[in-house]
């Protein structure tokens, strides 16, 4: 019982850290509901805690919970000041549940989403960490960090822990360590609560972000799609980093998209922080960060005041991104961890030819993913239908940027597979393609919402406040 209370305290502390920074960044801006702030705060919180733990390790301070928490005190004080000021003036935006009132189908949708979320919590918490990557790339590193009370900066500390990927980023093991420190014991069953919480945060944040562009019913429907994709739900239970990574890259892009529409600097800062945290979660962050920079560059080229935009982007996007990622890059360099799967300097024409010969297999596997409903329901069929039937919507701005963002990522992922240097590309594609597709699922669903809006907005299903 005591362990569970401490676990709740750990979650609360994570949310509060995220909330402190979020409120400071928003600096009194209106239009954010409590659930939106709470879910985004959790996402930001896990990133900030991981960033802080990396920093503490570099400085040789060790993981002292009091010090780790005290560092956020200035942000917390400022956030409290902003919150009190906002509640005094009644500026806090209230959620509008009335949009769903009296609608049977929305009651069903809410019920299914609730059932899905409850099942994910039960499934995740029914087992300790036991999946392959959950152990070898994350769980065992968390054990090392807990025992060392820091990220040990000597490679020998990571000796003899199996043939996992040493260069994999350490956000997940760090958050697991953070939870262990709070609950005061090594309980790798309770620690798995992180993953369903990330799932909930992802769905809620996605709903609110989508709601800003469309109406509530429309946003709920697409959040429902995302929530009920079996593959995404599975990855919220097994202790992998892919869902957390997807949360970061999806929300980073959507906040960037919001910046293109609203030119609000706070969106740019949040997008930057989330993109930075994605580097702490998975190496694939390079692709999404590059795609972000490409769309930012296109956006700047369209602006009259290019210099002002460049200054904004450097100050609010590039600098926070560099600060967040620098610590991990430093640790990786110090430990000498390199990616053994992709090494362009070792690439030969023979190897490239071998990899290219796998393209038919790759395409076959890809079509199985798209048309097979077991993992994805009909998500990708709908996404590709939208792309084919409504491709003209990509000509409009800023919708064009969603298409470019997706295209850049697809090209980078495909190229990375073609220059893959691991032992067996067949095995690699077989085991990772469906996982890679999770990374794209959030932005793809957002893109689908964008493509179909003009067709669907007139349907009675999406008219708010009317009984069905």
Partner 1 sequence: MHIFKTRLFQICLLIWLVLWVIFFFRENKDGEYKDFFVLAGKNLEGKRAYLMGEGFYGFVNFCSQNTPPEARYKFAGLGPMKIEEVRAIYHLWPRRAVEENFEYIFVYDAKGFSEEGFFMLKDFNGSSYVLKRK
How far from the centroid of its chain's Cα atoms is residue 162's Cα? 27
- Report the site for partner 1 in 53-72 (rule: CB under 8 A): none
Site track for partner 1 across 180-219, x = CB under 8 A: -------x-x------------------------------
Which of 160/360 has CB closer to partner 1? 160
Which of 154/359 has CB closer to partner 1? 154
Among 3, 10, 5, smallest CA distance to 49 is for 10
Among 304, 456, 306, 442, smallest CA distance to 379 is for 442
Contact 430, 366 (CB under 8 A): no
Please compute, for residue 383, the number of CA atoms within 13 A of its CA located in the half-sphere on the CB side.
23
Which of 160/353 has CB closer to partner 1? 160
- Residue 4: CB minimum distance to partner 1, A: 13
Distance in angstroms (rounded) separating the CA atoms of residues 241 and 161: 19
Site track for partner 1 across 93-132, x = CB under 8 A: ---------------x---x--xx--x--xx--xxxxx-x
Which of 181/375 has CB closer to partner 1? 375
Distance in angstroms (rounded) separating the CA atoms of residues 49 and 261: 30
User: CA 406 → CA 34, 224, 273, 422, distances in Å?
Assistant: 31, 22, 20, 26
Per CB under 8 A, 173 contacts partner 1: no
- Report the site for partner 1 in 139-168 (rule: CB under 8 A): 139-140, 143-144, 147, 159-163
Instruction: Print burial letters for 153-171: b (CB count within 10 Å at least 16), e (below 16).
Output: eeeebeeebeebebebbbb
- Report the site for partner 1 in 417-456 (rule: CB under 8 A): 455-456
Per CB under 8 A, 77 contacts partner 1: no
Per CB under 8 A, 459 contacts partner 1: yes
Tokens of 463: 């008219």
Which of 138/299 has CB closer to partner 1? 138
Contact 362, 417 (CB under 8 A): yes
Distance in angstroms (rounded) separating the CA atoms of residues 396 and 385: 18
Partnered with residue 420 across adjacent β-strands are 342
Q: Which stretch binds partner 1 (CB under 8 A): 19-27, 137-145, 294-302, 329-337?
A: 137-145
Cis peptide before 398 (omega within 30 of 0): yes
Looking only at Cα atoms, what is the longest distance across the chain? 69
- Residue 130: CB minimum distance to partner 1, A: 5
- Residue 232: CB minimum distance to partner 1, A: 12
User: CA 295 → CA 194, 256, 314, 398, distances in Å?
Assistant: 31, 9, 14, 10
Which of 171/379 has CB closer to partner 1? 379
Q: Which stretch binds partner 1 (CB under 8 A): 200-208, 223-231, 294-302, 350-358?
A: 223-231
- Residue 5: CB minimum distance to partner 1, A: 18
Which region, left, alpha or beta, applies to residue 346 given φ > 0 means left and ψ of -120 to 50 means alpha? alpha
Contact 427, 314 (CB under 8 A): no
Number of other residues whose CB lies within 10 A of the CB of residue 149: 15
Q: Which stretch binds partner 1 (CB under 8 A): 61-69, 78-86, 410-418, 458-466?
A: 458-466
- Report the site for partner 1 in 379-408 (rule: CB under 8 A): 382
Site track for partner 1 across 320-359, x = CB under 8 A: ----------------------------------------
Per CB under 8 A, 33 contacts partner 1: no
Kindly determine how many residues on this chain lie close enough to bind partner 1 according to the rule CB under 8 A.
41
Which of 32/158 has CB closer to partner 1? 158
Which of 36/133 has CB closer to partner 1? 133
Among 63, 271, 252, smallest CA distance to 176 is for 63
- Report the site for partner 1 in 359-378 (rule: CB under 8 A): 373-374, 377-378
Contact residues for partner 1 (CB under 8 A)? 108, 112, 115-116, 119, 122-123, 126-130, 132, 135-136, 139-140, 143-144, 147, 159-163, 187, 189, 225, 228, 230, 373-374, 377-378, 382, 455-456, 458-461
């Amino acid at each position: 019982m005591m362990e569970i209370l401490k676990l709740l305290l750990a979650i609360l502390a994570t949310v509060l850290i995220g909330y402190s920074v979020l409120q400071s960044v928003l600096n009194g801006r209106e239009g954010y509901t409590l659930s939106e702030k709470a879910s985004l705060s959790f996402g930001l919180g896990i990133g900030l805690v991981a960033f802080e733990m990396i920093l503490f390790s570099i400085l040789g301070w060790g993981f002292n919970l009091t010090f780790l928490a005290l560092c956020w005190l200035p942000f917390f004080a400022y956030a409290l000041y902003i919150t009190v000021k906002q509640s005094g003036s009644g500026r806090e935006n209230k959620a509008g549940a009335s949009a769903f009132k009296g609608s049977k189908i929305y009651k069903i949708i809410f019920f299914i989403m609730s059932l899905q979320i409850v099942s994910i919590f039960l499934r995740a918490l029914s087992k300790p960490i036991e999946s392959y990557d959950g152990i070898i790339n994350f769980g065992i590193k968390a054990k090392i960090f807990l025992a060392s009370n820091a990220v040990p900066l000597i490679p020998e500390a990571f000796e003899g822990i199996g043939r996992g990927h040493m260069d994999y980023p350490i956000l997940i093991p760090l958050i697991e360590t953070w939870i262990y420190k709070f609950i005061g014991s090594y309980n790798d069953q309770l620690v798995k609560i992180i993953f369903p919480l990330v799932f909930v945060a992802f769905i809620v944040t996605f709903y609110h972000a989508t709601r800003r562009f469309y109406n509530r019913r429309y946003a709920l429907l697409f959040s429902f799609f995302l929530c009920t994709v079996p593959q995404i739900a599975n990855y919220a239970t097994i202790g992998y980093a892919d869902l957390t990574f997807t949360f970061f890259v999806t929300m980073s892009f959507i906040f960037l998209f919001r910046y293109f529409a609203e030119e609000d600097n706070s969106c740019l800062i949040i997008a930057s922080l989330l993109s930075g945290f994605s580097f702490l979660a998975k190496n694939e962050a390079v692709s999404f960060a590059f795609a972000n920079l490409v769309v930012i560059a296109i956006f700047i080229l369209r602006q009259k005041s290019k210099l002002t935009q460049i200054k904004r982007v450097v100050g609010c996007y590039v600098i926070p991104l560099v600060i967040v990622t620098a610590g991990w890059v430093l640790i990786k360099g110090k430990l000498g961890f390199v990616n053994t799967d992709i090494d362009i300097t070792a690439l030969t024409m023979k190897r490239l030819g071998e990899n290219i010969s796998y393209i038919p297999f790759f395409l076959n596997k890809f079509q199985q993913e798209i048309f097979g409903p077991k993992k994805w329901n009909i998500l990708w069929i709908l996404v590709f239908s939208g792309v084919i039937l409504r491709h003209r919507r990509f000509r409009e701005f800023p919708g064009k940027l969603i298409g470019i963002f997706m295209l850049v990522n697809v090209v980078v992922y495909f190229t990375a597979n073609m220059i893959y240097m691991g032992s067996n590309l067949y095995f690699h594609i077989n085991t990772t393609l469906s996982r890679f597709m999770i990374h794209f699922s959030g932005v793809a669903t957002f893109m689908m919402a964008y493509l179909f809006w003009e067709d669907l907005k007139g349907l009675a299903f999406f008219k708010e406040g009317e009984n069905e």
